C-alpha cells in the first residue's frame, strides 16, 4: 500500500496539491521532503544526509528510528492497535506508571492527550474547576500550543491573529536577563525583580480571580531562558500564598531535554505538569497532564468534564513505555546533562569568542540557544521579533549546505539534538555551524 510514498517527487507534488501546512502562507511554501531518517540524521529528497540538530520540533529525544521504540510499536500494533479511553489497557497503565515514577512530588495520576496544546487546555480546565477561579497568568515570550486557549496563553506572535475573544488570560514578564524588562544586571536581581513584578500583577488582577500560573519550566521556542536562581521557588511561594495552581509546561523541556527528567524537578513541585514530545520521542502523537493528589481528589467523587477519543492511545503509550525504559537503561538523562556541560556548552562559548553575531549563549543539557545580534553593544537582534532577515536566511542556507539542520526562531539558532547523539557527531555539527557562521558573516 505504501509503495508510492517512497517517491520524493510525488511526495512533493502531492504535498503542494493537497497538504495545508501549519502557521504558513501556503502559496510560497517549498517544503523539504524527508525520505528516511536514522538516529540523529535525516535524508532529503535529493538524497543529501543532514544532521538533525532540531530533533524535528524538539521531540525525537532518542533520535530517529530507535529500534526499541519501533519494535514496541510493531509489537503493540500486532497485538492491539487501539482501545477506547474507558477501558484499561496494559500499554496505557504501564506508561502512566512510568511517567508518575519520574514526575516530581505527588504528581501521581496521568490524563493522556494527543499532544501539548490539549494537555495545557486540560491542565487549565482542571485548575479552574479545582479553584473555582477564572483567570490564567502566563509569560510573554512563551509557547503553549495552537488550540484556542493554549494559543491565547501563549506569549509569542502566533497569539496575535488568534486574540479574538476574552478568555481570562493575562500576560506578565518572566526573567530574561539578556533582554531584562527590569533593567537588572545580575541573575539574582532579575529573579527578585521578576518575582516582585509577578506579585504586583497578581495583586492588581485580584488573587481571588486567578486559577493558575502556567510557565514553561525553561521557555523553549521563545529562547531557552534558563530561569535564574530562586525564580521557580519564588513562583511556587506566590502560588501557595494566593491559592493559585502552578502549571509547569514541560512539553519541550521535559523527558531529559534539559538534562533532568523534568526541568522543574530540583526546585519545585507544580500542581499540574504537562508533557508531550519527548515522552515517546514523538513517534506516535501523545501528550498528557500529571496531576497532584489534591487536584485528583477534586475529581474523585465529581466527574471531570473533559475527554478525548484517543486518550492514552495504545500505540502511543507502547512507544512511551519503550522510550522511558530505554532512557532508564541507557542513562539518557545523565548523558544529556553531560553533553551540555562537557561538549555543547564549551563549544558554543568558543564559537561566541570567534563570531561577533553571537550575543549570548544559554542553555543546559541538550537545550541551547544562540542569541544572534547585529551589534553586541546595543544587542540589536539579527532579525526582528516575530520576523526573519536576509542574514538569518543566509545563515540557515549555509548550515544546510554544510549538512546541518538547525532549529531557528527569529534571531536565534537553537541547538537541540537528540539526547543520545554521539559526542563526535555533536562536535561535527557544531563545526558545521562554525563554518556556516564564518561563511555568512565574513
Q: At what angle do helices 187-205 and 231-242 cross, to 10 degrees?
A: 20
- Tally the residues of the chain: 442
Q: How far apart are CA 93 and CA 255, in angstroms?
A: 18
Q: Binding to ligand PLP by residue 145, rule CB under 6 A?
A: yes
C-beta closer to ligand PLP: residue 290 or 432:
290
Least distance between ligand PLP and beta carbon 349 (Å): 25
Cell of 330: 541507557
Per-residue binder mask for ligand PLP (CB under 6 A), 86-125, x = binder: -----------------------------xxx--x-----
Q: How far apart are CA 335 and CA 104, in angstroms?
A: 20
Q: Which of 428, 435, 441 is nearest to 52 (CA)?
A: 428
Q: Binding to ligand PLP by residue 230, rule CB under 6 A?
A: no
Task: Centre a 10 Å sphere on the Cβ of residue 271 and count the other Cβ atoms it contains.
Answer: 27
Q: Binding to ligand PLP by residue 144, rule CB under 6 A?
A: yes
Least distance between ligand PLP and beta carbon 124 (Å): 12
Q: Residues 57, 343, 394, 431: which binds ligand PLP (CB under 6 A)?
A: 57
C-beta closer to ligand PLP: residue 23 or 87:
23
Least distance between ligand PLP and beta carbon 162 (Å): 14
Cell of 305: 468534564
Task: Centre a 10 Å sphere on the Cβ of residue 7 and count the other Cβ atoms it contains.
Answer: 14
Q: Is 432 exposed, middle or buried (0-12, 13-18, 19+ CB in 10 A)?
A: buried
Report 270-309 residues binding ligand PLP (CB under 6 A).
276, 287
Q: Binding to ligand PLP by residue 249, rule CB under 6 A?
A: yes
Which range in 35-43, 93-101, 141-149, 156-164 contacts ligand PLP by CB under 6 A? Answer: 141-149
C-beta closer to ligand PLP: residue 112 or 143:
143
Q: Which of 109, 351, 345 is nearest to 226 (CA)?
A: 345
Cβ pair 282, 257 in contact under 8 A: no
Q: Binding to ligand PLP by residue 156, rule CB under 6 A?
A: no
Q: Residues 220, 256, 312, 345: which binds ligand PLP (CB under 6 A)?
A: 220
Least distance between ligand PLP and beta carbon 378 (Å): 29
Query: What one-character DSSP code corresponds to residue 227?
Result: P
Q: How far apart are CA 283 and CA 325, in angstroms?
A: 15
Q: Which of 212, 179, 181 is nearest to 194 (CA)?
A: 181
Q: How far apart are CA 308 and CA 299, in angstroms?
A: 17
Which range in 245-253, 258-266, 335-343, 428-436 contacts ligand PLP by CB under 6 A? Answer: 245-253
C-beta closer to ligand PLP: residue 276 or 324:
276
Per-residue binder mask for ligand PLP (CB under 6 A), 311-350, x = binder: ----------------------------------------
Q: How far apart are CA 410 and CA 383, in angstroms?
A: 6
Q: Binding to ligand PLP by residue 221, rule CB under 6 A?
A: yes
Distance between alpha carbon 147 and the CA centroid of its chain, in Å? 16
Q: Binding to ligand PLP by residue 381, rule CB under 6 A?
A: no
List residues binding ligand PLP (CB under 6 A).
57, 115-117, 120, 143-145, 216, 220-221, 249, 251-252, 276, 287
Amino acid at each position: 500500500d505504501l509503495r508510492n510514498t517512497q517517491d520524493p517527487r510525488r511526495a512533493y507534488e502531492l504535498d503542494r496539491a493537497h497538504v495545508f501546512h501549519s502557521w504558513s502562507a501556503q502559496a510560497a511554501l517549498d517544503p523539504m521532503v524527508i525520505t528516511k531518517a536514522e538516529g540523529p540524521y535525516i535524508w532529503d529528497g535529493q538524497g543529501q544526509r543532514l544532521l538533525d540538530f532540531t530533533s524535528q520540533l524538539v521531540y525525537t529525544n532518542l533520535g530517529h528510528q530507535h529500534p526499541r521504540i519501533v519494535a514496541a510499536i510493531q509489537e503493540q500494533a500486532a497485538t492491539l492497535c487501539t482501545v477506547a479511553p474507558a477501558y484499561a489497557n496494559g500499554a496505557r497503565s504501564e506508561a502512566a506508571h512510568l511517567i508518575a515514577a519520574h514526575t516530581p512530588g505527588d504528581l501521581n495520576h496521568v490524563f493522556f492527550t494527543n499532544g501539548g496544546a490539549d494537555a495545557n487546555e486540560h491542565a487549565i480546565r482542571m485548575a479552574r474547576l479545582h479553584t473555582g477561579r477564572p483567570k490564567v497568568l502566563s509569560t510573554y515570550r512563551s509557547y503553549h500550543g495552537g488550540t484556542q486557549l493554549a494559543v491565547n496563553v501563549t506569549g509569542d506572535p502566533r497569539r496575535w491573529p488568534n486574540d479574538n475573544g476574552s478568555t481570562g488570560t493575562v500576560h506578565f514578564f518572566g526573567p530574561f536577563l539578556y533582554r531584562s524588562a527590569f533593567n537588572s544586571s545580575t541573575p539574582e536581581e532579575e529573579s527578585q525583580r521578576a518575582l516582585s513584578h509577578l506579585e504586583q500583577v497578581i495583586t492588581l488582577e485580584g488573587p481571588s480571580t486567578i486559577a493558575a500560573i502556567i510557565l514553561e519550566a525553561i521557555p523553549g521556542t521563545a529562547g531557552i531562558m534558563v530561569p535564574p536562581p530562586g525564580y521557580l521557588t519564588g513562583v511556587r511561594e506566590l502560588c501557595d500564598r494566593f491559592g493559585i495552581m502552578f502549571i509547569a509546561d514541560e512539553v519541550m523541556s521535559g523527558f531529559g531535554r534539559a538534562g533532568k527528567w523534568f526541568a522543574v524537578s530540583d526546585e519545585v513541585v507544580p500542581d499540574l505538569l504537562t508533557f508531550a514530545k519527548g515522552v515517546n520521542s514523538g513517534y506516535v502523537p501523545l501528550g498528557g497532564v500529571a496531576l497532584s493528589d489534591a487536584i485528583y481528589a477534586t475529581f474523585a467523587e465529581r466527574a471531570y468534564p473533559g475527554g478525548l477519543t484517543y486518550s492514552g492511545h495504545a500505540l502511543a503509550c507502547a512507544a512511551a513505555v519503550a522510550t522511558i525504559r530505554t532512557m532508564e537503561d541507557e542513562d539518557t538523562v545523565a548523558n544529556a546533562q553531560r553533553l551540555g556541560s562537557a561538549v555543547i556548552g564549551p563549544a558554543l562559548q568558543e564559537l561566541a569568542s570567534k563570531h561577533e553575531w553571537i550575543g549570548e549563549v544559554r542553555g543546559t543539557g541538550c537545550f541551547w540557544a544562540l542569541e544572534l545580534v547585529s551589534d553586541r553593544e546595543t544587542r540589536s537582534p539579527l532579525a526582528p521579533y516575530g520576523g526573519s532577515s536576509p542574514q538569518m536566511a543566509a545563515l540557515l542556507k549555509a548550515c544546510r549546505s554544510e549538512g546541518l539542520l538547525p532549529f531557528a526562531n527569529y534571531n536565534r539558532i537553537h541547538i537541540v539534538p537528540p539526547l543520545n547523539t554521539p559526542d563526535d557527531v555533536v562536535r561535527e555539527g557544531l563545526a558545521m555551524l562554525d563554518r556556516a557562521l564564518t561563511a555568512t558573516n565574513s
